[in-house]
Amino acid sequence: MRLEDLRPAPGAVTRRKRVGRGPGSGHGKTSTKGSKGHKARSGGGKTGGFEGGQMPLYRRLPKRGFLPYGGKTEYAVVNLKSLGAFAANSVVDPDGLVKAGLIKRGDRARVKLLGDGDVPHALTVKVHAISESARAKIEGQGGRIEVLPAKEKVAAS
C-alpha cells in the first residue's frame, strides 16, 4: 500500500447540503426549516441555557463572592518537607526552588512557604510569604527568613 492509495472510509466524506437554491434542488423555498415559527427565522432558536420557560439553572443558583481589583493573589506553594533536598545553611530562594523542581519557572514572582513537615537543618529562606508555623520551625532550627517584596504583574499595553 502506498500513500496515494489511501482513501477515506465509504460514507465518511459527504457533500454539504446547499439550501435555498431553488425548487429543483429539493431544498428550496423554506430551506428545510419548515414553515413559520421561531426556528424558521433568521437567528432563531433557543439560547444555550433555555429550559422551556422554566427558570434556568444559571438564574436559580445564588451568585457568590466578589473579587475586587483584578482578583486574589495566587502563590506558588511549597511545604517545609520539600526543603530536605537543600544542604545545611544553604539559601533557598525562588530560583533555587525552580532548579530543585519544586515550582515552575513562571511561578517565581510569588512563592509562599507553608509549615507542613519539618525542616532537618538550618536554612536561609527567601520567599514572598510564609505561614507562622513555617516561620517558627525554621527559626527553631536556627535558620533565617527573608520576606521578598512581591513583584507587580506587568500590564499588557
Question: How would residue 29 be classed by pLDDT, with cut points 50, 70 and 90?
Answer: very high
CA atoms of 85 and 102, how far apart (whole Å): 10
**Per the structure block, which three cell numbers stand in for 69?**
481589583
Is 70 exceeded by the pLDDT of residue 153?
A: no
Domain locations in the chain? 76-147
> Average pLDDT for residues 128-157, to the nearest whole number?
85
Name residues whose C-beta falls within 8 Å of residue 90's C-beta, 6 or more positions apart in sequence: 96, 123, 124
Residues above pLDDT 90, as percent of the chain: 81
Query: Could you give the CA distance from residue 65 to residue 4 in angstroms, rounded to a whole number?
Result: 59
pLDDT tens digits, 98-141: 999 999 999 999 999 999 999 989 999 999 999 999 999 999 99
- Asked if residues 23 and 29 have their Cβ atoms less than 8 Å apart, the reply is yes
pTM: 0.56
* pLDDT score recorded for residue 157: 46
- Average pLDDT estimate for 17-22: 94
* Tens digits of residue pLDDT in 72-83: 889 999 999 999
**What distance lies between CA 9 and its chain's CA centroid?**
38
Beta bridge partners of 92: 125
Which residue reads 527568613 in cell numbers? Answer: 145
The torsion angles phi and psi of 130, rounded to 5 degrees, stand at -150, 145
Name the average pLDDT for the chain: 91
Give pLDDT, residue 141: 92
Which of 39, 121, 128 is closest to 80 using CA atoms? 121
Q: What is the CATH number of domain 76-147?
A: 3.100.10.10
